[in-house]
Amino acid sequence: MLRSISATSTDAMSSSDNKPERTLADLGVTQPDQVLSLFAEVRARFDGQVSRPLDHPGWEILRQSWLGRKSGVLMLIAEHWLKPAAPDLKRSVGQELNKLKAHLETTLEERRLDVESLADHAASIRDRVDLSLPGVTRRSGSHHLIRRVFQEIEDIFFSIGFSVVEGPEIETPYYNFEALNIPEFHPVRDDMDTFYLELPPSPDKKTAPTPLLLRTHTSPMQIRTMEKQKPPVRVIVPGKVYRRDNPDATHSFAFHQIEGLAVDTDITFCDFTGTIEYFVQQFFGPSVKTRFRPSYFPFTEPSVEFDVSCPFCGGTGASNGNTCSKCKGAAWIELFGAGMVDPAVYGFVNYDAKKVSGFAFGIGIDRLAMLKYGIDDIQIFFQNDVRFLRQFP
Ligand code: PHE
Protein backbone atom coordinates (compact mmCIF):
# COMPACT_ATOMS: atom_id res chain seq x y z
CA MET A 1 0.00 0.00 0.00
CA LEU A 2 1.36 3.35 -0.98
CA ARG A 3 1.41 5.71 1.97
CA SER A 4 1.63 9.24 0.82
CA ILE A 5 2.79 12.28 2.62
CA SER A 6 1.39 15.41 1.18
CA ALA A 7 3.98 18.12 1.19
CA THR A 8 2.46 21.44 2.04
CA SER A 9 3.89 24.86 1.53
CA THR A 10 4.45 25.22 5.26
CA ASP A 11 6.34 21.97 5.04
CA ALA A 12 8.56 23.40 2.38
CA MET A 13 8.88 26.66 4.22
CA SER A 14 8.76 25.90 7.92
CA SER A 15 9.63 28.86 10.12
CA SER A 16 13.19 27.72 10.72
CA ASP A 17 13.54 27.49 6.97
CA ASN A 18 12.26 30.88 6.13
CA LYS A 19 15.64 32.02 4.86
CA PRO A 20 14.39 32.62 1.28
CA GLU A 21 12.09 35.25 2.73
CA ARG A 22 15.01 37.21 4.05
CA THR A 23 17.75 38.95 2.12
CA LEU A 24 21.36 37.80 2.02
CA ALA A 25 22.33 40.87 3.95
CA ASP A 26 19.84 39.90 6.67
CA LEU A 27 21.25 36.45 6.72
CA GLY A 28 24.79 37.79 7.05
CA VAL A 29 25.90 36.25 3.77
CA THR A 30 28.69 38.24 2.26
CA GLN A 31 31.03 35.68 0.68
CA PRO A 32 30.47 33.49 -2.40
CA ASP A 33 31.27 30.32 -0.44
CA GLN A 34 28.52 31.27 2.04
CA VAL A 35 26.21 31.53 -0.98
CA LEU A 36 27.20 28.01 -2.01
CA SER A 37 26.47 26.49 1.39
CA LEU A 38 23.19 28.40 1.64
CA PHE A 39 22.09 26.92 -1.68
CA ALA A 40 23.35 23.47 -0.60
CA GLU A 41 21.16 23.73 2.48
CA VAL A 42 18.10 24.62 0.42
CA ARG A 43 18.84 21.84 -2.01
CA ALA A 44 19.20 19.31 0.82
CA ARG A 45 15.85 20.38 2.19
CA PHE A 46 14.27 19.88 -1.24
CA ASP A 47 15.96 16.50 -1.65
CA GLY A 48 14.59 15.44 1.72
CA GLN A 49 11.07 16.34 0.76
CA VAL A 50 11.11 14.96 -2.74
CA SER A 51 12.35 11.57 -1.64
CA ARG A 52 9.34 10.89 0.60
CA PRO A 53 6.59 8.67 -0.71
CA LEU A 54 4.20 10.77 -2.75
CA ASP A 55 0.90 10.39 -4.47
CA HIS A 56 -0.08 12.63 -7.34
CA PRO A 57 -1.80 15.40 -5.33
CA GLY A 58 1.15 15.40 -2.91
CA TRP A 59 3.56 15.77 -5.79
CA GLU A 60 1.57 18.72 -7.15
CA ILE A 61 1.65 20.50 -3.78
CA LEU A 62 5.38 19.91 -3.53
CA ARG A 63 5.93 21.29 -7.02
CA GLN A 64 3.87 24.39 -6.21
CA SER A 65 5.76 25.02 -3.00
CA TRP A 66 9.08 24.99 -4.84
CA LEU A 67 8.33 26.22 -8.34
CA GLY A 68 5.05 28.08 -7.80
CA ARG A 69 5.04 31.48 -9.55
CA LYS A 70 3.79 33.45 -6.57
CA SER A 71 5.34 32.02 -3.46
CA GLY A 72 7.43 29.07 -4.57
CA VAL A 73 10.84 28.86 -2.87
CA LEU A 74 12.60 29.51 -6.17
CA MET A 75 10.56 32.68 -6.67
CA LEU A 76 11.34 33.87 -3.14
CA ILE A 77 15.06 33.29 -3.67
CA ALA A 78 14.97 35.30 -6.89
CA GLU A 79 13.07 38.03 -5.09
CA HIS A 80 15.01 38.19 -1.83
CA TRP A 81 18.45 36.86 -2.59
CA LEU A 82 19.16 37.62 -6.22
CA LYS A 83 17.50 40.97 -6.81
CA PRO A 84 18.94 42.83 -3.84
CA ALA A 85 22.28 40.95 -3.88
CA ALA A 86 25.49 42.97 -3.63
CA PRO A 87 27.11 43.18 -7.08
CA ASP A 88 29.99 40.91 -6.10
CA LEU A 89 27.62 38.12 -5.03
CA LYS A 90 25.07 38.50 -7.80
CA ARG A 91 26.94 36.28 -10.23
CA SER A 92 27.32 33.33 -7.89
CA VAL A 93 23.73 33.71 -6.60
CA GLY A 94 22.52 33.72 -10.23
CA GLN A 95 24.55 30.63 -11.10
CA GLU A 96 23.41 28.74 -7.99
CA LEU A 97 19.83 29.74 -8.58
CA ASN A 98 19.98 28.36 -12.15
CA LYS A 99 21.54 25.13 -10.92
CA LEU A 100 18.91 24.81 -8.21
CA LYS A 101 16.14 25.47 -10.72
CA ALA A 102 17.48 22.81 -13.11
CA HIS A 103 17.82 20.37 -10.22
CA LEU A 104 14.26 21.02 -9.02
CA GLU A 105 12.82 20.65 -12.48
CA THR A 106 14.57 17.42 -13.41
CA THR A 107 14.00 15.84 -10.01
CA LEU A 108 10.34 16.78 -9.92
CA GLU A 109 9.86 15.45 -13.45
CA GLU A 110 11.50 12.14 -12.49
CA ARG A 111 9.30 11.91 -9.43
CA ARG A 112 6.21 12.65 -11.51
CA LEU A 113 6.96 9.65 -13.71
CA ASP A 114 7.56 7.51 -10.62
CA VAL A 115 4.35 8.64 -8.95
CA GLU A 116 2.31 7.97 -12.06
CA SER A 117 3.73 4.55 -12.70
CA LEU A 118 3.16 3.66 -9.04
CA ALA A 119 -0.46 4.77 -9.38
CA ASP A 120 -0.81 2.64 -12.52
CA HIS A 121 0.72 -0.29 -10.72
CA ALA A 122 -1.60 0.15 -7.73
CA ALA A 123 -4.57 0.31 -10.07
CA SER A 124 -3.47 -2.81 -11.88
CA ILE A 125 -3.15 -4.66 -8.56
CA ARG A 126 -6.57 -3.43 -7.53
CA ASP A 127 -8.14 -4.50 -10.81
CA ARG A 128 -6.28 -7.75 -11.22
CA VAL A 129 -8.46 -10.81 -11.69
CA ASP A 130 -7.56 -13.32 -9.04
CA LEU A 131 -8.24 -16.66 -10.63
CA SER A 132 -7.73 -18.47 -7.35
CA LEU A 133 -10.82 -16.85 -5.78
CA PRO A 134 -14.00 -18.92 -5.77
CA GLY A 135 -16.17 -17.97 -8.75
CA VAL A 136 -19.55 -16.32 -8.65
CA THR A 137 -21.89 -19.26 -8.90
CA ARG A 138 -25.43 -18.98 -10.08
CA ARG A 139 -27.84 -21.68 -9.02
CA SER A 140 -29.12 -23.37 -12.09
CA GLY A 141 -32.87 -23.59 -12.24
CA SER A 142 -34.82 -26.77 -12.68
CA HIS A 143 -38.10 -27.89 -14.11
CA HIS A 144 -41.22 -27.49 -12.01
CA LEU A 145 -42.40 -30.82 -10.64
CA ILE A 146 -45.52 -30.67 -12.81
CA ARG A 147 -43.39 -30.17 -15.92
CA ARG A 148 -41.25 -33.09 -14.80
CA VAL A 149 -44.20 -35.42 -14.40
CA PHE A 150 -45.49 -34.31 -17.81
CA GLN A 151 -42.11 -35.27 -19.23
CA GLU A 152 -42.06 -38.66 -17.49
CA ILE A 153 -45.50 -39.48 -18.87
CA GLU A 154 -44.71 -38.17 -22.33
CA ASP A 155 -41.56 -40.32 -22.45
CA ILE A 156 -43.55 -43.44 -21.57
CA PHE A 157 -46.09 -42.80 -24.33
CA PHE A 158 -43.39 -41.82 -26.83
CA SER A 159 -41.87 -45.23 -26.31
CA ILE A 160 -45.06 -46.89 -27.56
CA GLY A 161 -45.59 -44.72 -30.61
CA PHE A 162 -47.70 -41.82 -29.36
CA SER A 163 -46.89 -38.26 -30.37
CA VAL A 164 -47.62 -35.00 -28.55
CA VAL A 165 -50.07 -32.37 -29.72
CA GLU A 166 -51.12 -29.25 -27.89
CA GLY A 167 -54.28 -27.20 -28.11
CA PRO A 168 -55.88 -23.93 -27.04
CA GLU A 169 -56.82 -23.26 -23.43
CA ILE A 170 -59.61 -20.97 -24.62
CA GLU A 171 -62.22 -23.12 -26.30
CA THR A 172 -65.66 -22.93 -27.83
CA PRO A 173 -68.50 -24.83 -26.15
CA TYR A 174 -68.65 -26.93 -29.31
CA TYR A 175 -65.22 -28.48 -28.79
CA ASN A 176 -65.37 -28.55 -25.02
CA PHE A 177 -68.87 -30.09 -24.86
CA GLU A 178 -71.07 -30.63 -27.89
CA ALA A 179 -68.69 -32.52 -30.15
CA LEU A 180 -67.82 -34.68 -27.16
CA ASN A 181 -71.40 -35.75 -27.03
CA ILE A 182 -72.27 -33.43 -24.13
CA PRO A 183 -75.28 -31.46 -25.31
CA GLU A 184 -76.46 -28.34 -23.53
CA PHE A 185 -78.32 -29.13 -20.29
CA HIS A 186 -76.57 -32.49 -19.97
CA PRO A 187 -76.06 -33.07 -16.22
CA VAL A 188 -72.30 -33.75 -16.52
CA ARG A 189 -71.87 -30.09 -17.37
CA ASP A 190 -72.46 -29.44 -13.68
CA ASP A 191 -69.20 -31.19 -12.84
CA MET A 192 -67.42 -29.17 -15.43
CA ASP A 193 -68.63 -25.72 -14.53
CA THR A 194 -66.13 -23.35 -16.01
CA PHE A 195 -65.09 -19.78 -16.67
CA TYR A 196 -66.74 -18.03 -19.59
CA LEU A 197 -65.04 -15.12 -21.25
CA GLU A 198 -66.85 -11.85 -21.62
CA LEU A 199 -66.33 -10.83 -25.21
CA PRO A 200 -66.97 -7.48 -26.87
CA PRO A 201 -69.92 -7.59 -29.29
CA SER A 202 -68.93 -8.36 -32.86
CA PRO A 203 -68.31 -5.22 -34.96
CA ASP A 204 -71.24 -5.82 -37.32
CA LYS A 205 -73.56 -6.15 -34.26
CA LYS A 206 -75.72 -8.59 -36.23
CA THR A 207 -74.26 -11.78 -34.86
CA ALA A 208 -73.85 -12.46 -31.19
CA PRO A 209 -70.25 -13.15 -30.22
CA THR A 210 -69.43 -16.85 -30.03
CA PRO A 211 -69.18 -17.62 -26.32
CA LEU A 212 -65.71 -18.76 -25.33
CA LEU A 213 -64.65 -20.61 -22.22
CA LEU A 214 -61.56 -21.92 -20.51
CA ARG A 215 -61.42 -25.62 -21.35
CA THR A 216 -62.49 -27.89 -18.51
CA HIS A 217 -60.49 -30.83 -19.82
CA THR A 218 -58.02 -31.67 -22.58
CA SER A 219 -60.66 -33.80 -24.37
CA PRO A 220 -61.52 -31.04 -26.92
CA MET A 221 -58.22 -31.97 -28.53
CA GLN A 222 -59.64 -35.41 -29.34
CA ILE A 223 -62.05 -33.64 -31.68
CA ARG A 224 -59.53 -31.16 -33.08
CA THR A 225 -57.07 -33.97 -33.78
CA MET A 226 -59.58 -36.23 -35.49
CA GLU A 227 -60.89 -33.30 -37.56
CA LYS A 228 -57.40 -32.77 -38.91
CA GLN A 229 -56.16 -36.28 -39.34
CA LYS A 230 -57.44 -39.62 -40.56
CA PRO A 231 -56.81 -42.80 -38.58
CA PRO A 232 -54.50 -44.16 -37.38
CA VAL A 233 -54.32 -41.61 -34.56
CA ARG A 234 -52.08 -42.00 -31.55
CA VAL A 235 -51.64 -38.77 -29.61
CA ILE A 236 -51.27 -37.43 -26.13
CA VAL A 237 -52.20 -33.88 -25.19
CA PRO A 238 -50.53 -32.29 -22.16
CA GLY A 239 -51.98 -29.03 -20.91
CA LYS A 240 -53.70 -26.78 -18.41
CA VAL A 241 -57.40 -27.03 -17.71
CA TYR A 242 -59.81 -24.95 -15.61
CA ARG A 243 -62.87 -25.53 -13.45
CA ARG A 244 -64.80 -23.36 -11.06
CA ASP A 245 -63.63 -25.31 -8.03
CA ASN A 246 -62.97 -23.70 -4.68
CA PRO A 247 -59.32 -24.06 -3.77
CA ASP A 248 -58.43 -26.58 -1.07
CA ALA A 249 -55.77 -29.26 -0.58
CA THR A 250 -57.07 -31.31 -3.51
CA HIS A 251 -58.82 -28.71 -5.69
CA SER A 252 -57.55 -25.85 -7.74
CA PHE A 253 -59.33 -23.79 -10.40
CA ALA A 254 -56.39 -24.49 -12.72
CA PHE A 255 -54.79 -27.90 -12.99
CA HIS A 256 -53.13 -30.17 -15.52
CA GLN A 257 -54.12 -33.15 -17.61
CA ILE A 258 -52.73 -35.41 -20.27
CA GLU A 259 -55.28 -36.62 -22.72
CA GLY A 260 -54.62 -39.77 -24.69
CA LEU A 261 -56.34 -40.90 -27.87
CA ALA A 262 -55.72 -43.93 -30.06
CA VAL A 263 -58.00 -44.65 -33.00
CA ASP A 264 -57.44 -47.21 -35.74
CA THR A 265 -59.35 -49.89 -37.62
CA ASP A 266 -58.67 -52.71 -35.19
CA ILE A 267 -58.19 -51.33 -31.69
CA THR A 268 -59.73 -53.54 -29.01
CA PHE A 269 -60.52 -53.19 -25.32
CA CYS A 270 -57.51 -55.43 -24.75
CA ASP A 271 -55.18 -52.94 -26.46
CA PHE A 272 -56.72 -50.31 -24.24
CA THR A 273 -56.18 -52.03 -20.89
CA GLY A 274 -52.76 -53.30 -21.98
CA THR A 275 -51.63 -49.77 -22.84
CA ILE A 276 -52.85 -48.36 -19.53
CA GLU A 277 -51.24 -51.18 -17.58
CA TYR A 278 -47.94 -50.61 -19.36
CA PHE A 279 -48.09 -46.92 -18.57
CA VAL A 280 -48.96 -47.42 -14.89
CA GLN A 281 -46.15 -49.93 -14.37
CA GLN A 282 -43.64 -47.68 -16.08
CA PHE A 283 -44.73 -44.76 -13.95
CA PHE A 284 -45.15 -46.37 -10.51
CA GLY A 285 -42.98 -49.48 -10.81
CA PRO A 286 -43.38 -53.04 -12.15
CA SER A 287 -45.02 -54.48 -9.04
CA VAL A 288 -48.21 -52.37 -9.14
CA LYS A 289 -51.43 -53.88 -10.36
CA THR A 290 -54.22 -52.10 -12.21
CA ARG A 291 -57.93 -52.66 -12.16
CA PHE A 292 -60.84 -50.84 -13.71
CA ARG A 293 -64.34 -50.13 -12.58
CA PRO A 294 -67.30 -49.10 -14.71
CA SER A 295 -67.82 -45.40 -14.93
CA TYR A 296 -69.53 -42.86 -17.13
CA PHE A 297 -68.33 -40.25 -19.61
CA PRO A 298 -70.56 -39.09 -22.48
CA PHE A 299 -67.71 -39.46 -25.00
CA THR A 300 -66.58 -43.00 -24.11
CA GLU A 301 -68.52 -46.23 -24.12
CA PRO A 302 -67.86 -48.28 -22.14
CA SER A 303 -66.26 -45.86 -19.68
CA VAL A 304 -64.00 -46.95 -16.86
CA GLU A 305 -62.13 -45.58 -13.91
CA PHE A 306 -58.64 -47.01 -13.51
CA ASP A 307 -57.27 -47.83 -10.08
CA VAL A 308 -53.74 -48.80 -9.18
CA SER A 309 -52.77 -51.04 -6.27
CA CYS A 310 -51.34 -48.64 -3.69
CA PRO A 311 -47.62 -48.34 -4.57
CA PHE A 312 -46.86 -47.12 -1.03
CA CYS A 313 -48.13 -50.08 1.00
CA GLY A 314 -47.70 -52.70 -1.71
CA GLY A 315 -51.47 -52.93 -2.08
CA THR A 316 -52.01 -54.17 1.48
CA GLY A 317 -53.70 -51.10 2.95
CA ALA A 318 -51.26 -51.05 5.87
CA SER A 319 -47.74 -49.87 6.40
CA ASN A 320 -45.66 -50.46 9.55
CA GLY A 321 -48.70 -51.83 11.31
CA ASN A 322 -50.71 -48.66 10.67
CA THR A 323 -53.37 -47.86 8.11
CA CYS A 324 -51.58 -46.68 4.95
CA SER A 325 -51.89 -42.91 4.84
CA LYS A 326 -51.83 -42.80 1.04
CA CYS A 327 -54.70 -45.19 0.21
CA LYS A 328 -56.38 -44.77 3.63
CA GLY A 329 -56.41 -48.52 4.00
CA ALA A 330 -58.27 -49.12 0.71
CA ALA A 331 -55.24 -50.84 -0.90
CA TRP A 332 -56.24 -49.23 -4.21
CA ILE A 333 -55.89 -45.69 -5.45
CA GLU A 334 -58.23 -44.16 -7.96
CA LEU A 335 -56.16 -42.95 -10.90
CA PHE A 336 -58.08 -41.59 -13.87
CA GLY A 337 -60.99 -41.91 -16.23
CA ALA A 338 -60.89 -43.54 -19.64
CA GLY A 339 -62.86 -45.65 -22.06
CA MET A 340 -63.46 -46.76 -25.63
CA VAL A 341 -64.32 -43.78 -27.83
CA ASP A 342 -68.12 -43.49 -28.07
CA PRO A 343 -69.22 -44.06 -31.70
CA ALA A 344 -71.33 -40.90 -31.41
CA VAL A 345 -68.11 -38.89 -31.26
CA TYR A 346 -66.94 -40.27 -34.61
CA GLY A 347 -70.06 -38.74 -36.10
CA PHE A 348 -68.77 -35.25 -35.24
CA VAL A 349 -65.46 -35.78 -37.05
CA ASN A 350 -66.58 -37.72 -40.09
CA TYR A 351 -64.98 -40.97 -39.09
CA ASP A 352 -66.85 -44.12 -40.07
CA ALA A 353 -67.99 -45.54 -36.74
CA LYS A 354 -68.42 -48.94 -38.35
CA LYS A 355 -64.79 -49.11 -39.44
CA VAL A 356 -62.82 -47.50 -36.64
CA SER A 357 -62.45 -48.06 -32.95
CA GLY A 358 -60.25 -46.59 -30.28
CA PHE A 359 -59.73 -45.56 -26.71
CA ALA A 360 -59.20 -42.34 -24.80
CA PHE A 361 -58.00 -41.46 -21.34
CA GLY A 362 -57.57 -38.31 -19.28
CA ILE A 363 -54.83 -38.34 -16.65
CA GLY A 364 -54.84 -35.72 -13.90
CA ILE A 365 -51.19 -34.73 -13.61
CA ASP A 366 -51.33 -32.88 -10.30
CA ARG A 367 -52.90 -35.87 -8.58
CA LEU A 368 -50.31 -38.26 -10.01
CA ALA A 369 -47.45 -35.93 -9.03
CA MET A 370 -48.85 -35.63 -5.50
CA LEU A 371 -49.12 -39.39 -5.20
CA LYS A 372 -45.70 -40.20 -6.60
CA TYR A 373 -43.78 -37.47 -4.77
CA GLY A 374 -45.72 -37.48 -1.48
CA ILE A 375 -47.20 -33.97 -1.71
CA ASP A 376 -50.31 -33.39 0.34
CA ASP A 377 -51.48 -30.01 -0.90
CA ILE A 378 -52.12 -29.20 -4.56
CA GLN A 379 -51.86 -25.45 -3.84
CA ILE A 380 -48.12 -25.75 -3.35
CA PHE A 381 -47.70 -26.36 -7.10
CA PHE A 382 -48.93 -22.86 -7.84
CA GLN A 383 -47.22 -20.89 -5.10
CA ASN A 384 -43.73 -20.93 -6.62
CA ASP A 385 -42.09 -21.13 -3.23
CA VAL A 386 -38.43 -21.83 -3.95
CA ARG A 387 -38.12 -23.91 -0.78
CA PHE A 388 -40.50 -26.35 -2.45
CA LEU A 389 -39.14 -26.01 -5.98
CA ARG A 390 -35.54 -26.62 -4.88
CA GLN A 391 -36.48 -30.02 -3.52
CA PHE A 392 -36.73 -31.24 -7.09
CA PRO A 393 -33.43 -30.20 -8.66
N1 PHE B 1 -62.09 -35.57 -19.81
C2 PHE B 1 -62.38 -36.38 -18.66
C3 PHE B 1 -62.29 -35.55 -17.40
O4 PHE B 1 -61.67 -34.51 -17.43
C5 PHE B 1 -61.47 -37.56 -18.55
C6 PHE B 1 -61.54 -38.52 -19.69
C7 PHE B 1 -60.78 -38.35 -20.80
C8 PHE B 1 -62.40 -39.57 -19.62
C9 PHE B 1 -60.85 -39.25 -21.86
C10 PHE B 1 -62.49 -40.48 -20.65
C11 PHE B 1 -61.73 -40.32 -21.76
O12 PHE B 1 -62.80 -35.92 -16.38
- What are the residue ranges spanned by the domains of the chain? 9-127, 145-389
Q: What is the pLDDT of residue 3?
A: 47
Q: What is the pLDDT of residue 73?
A: 93
What span, in angstroms and rounded, lies between the C-alpha atoms of 75 and 190? Answer: 104
pLDDT band at residue 235 under the 50/70/90 scheme: very high
Name the nearest CA neighbour of 45 among 70, 79, 18.
18
Q: What is the best residue among 219, 237, 295 to mutate for testing ligand 1's pocket, by most ligand atoms within 8 Å of CB?
A: 219
Query: Is the pLDDT score of 5 beyond 60?
Result: no
CA of 110 to the centre of ligand 1 (A): 89
SS3 293: strand
Q: What is the pLDDT of residue 134?
A: 86
Name the nearest CA neighbour of 183 among 358, 305, 348, 354.
348
Please state the atom number of ligand 1 nearest to the C-alpha of residue 222. 9
Percent of the chain clearing pLDDT 90 (strictly above): 65
For 281-293, give one letter per residue: b (16+ CB within 10 A) or e. Answer: bbbbeeebebebe
Name the nearest CA neighbour of 292 among 270, 325, 312, 314.
270
Least confident of 2-6, 33-37, 282-286, 303-307: 2-6
Which superfamily is assigned to 145-389 in CATH? Bira Bifunctional Protein; Domain 2 (3.30.930.10)
CA of 255 to the centre of ligand 1 (A): 14
Question: Ligand 1 atom 2: the closest Cα is on which residue?
Answer: 362
pTM of the model: 0.66
259-311, pLDDT tens digit by residue?
A: 999 999 999 999 999 999 999 999 999 999 999 999 999 999 999 999 999 88
Q: What is the pLDDT of residue 81?
A: 92
Least confident of 14-28, 144-158, 170-184, 313-327: 14-28
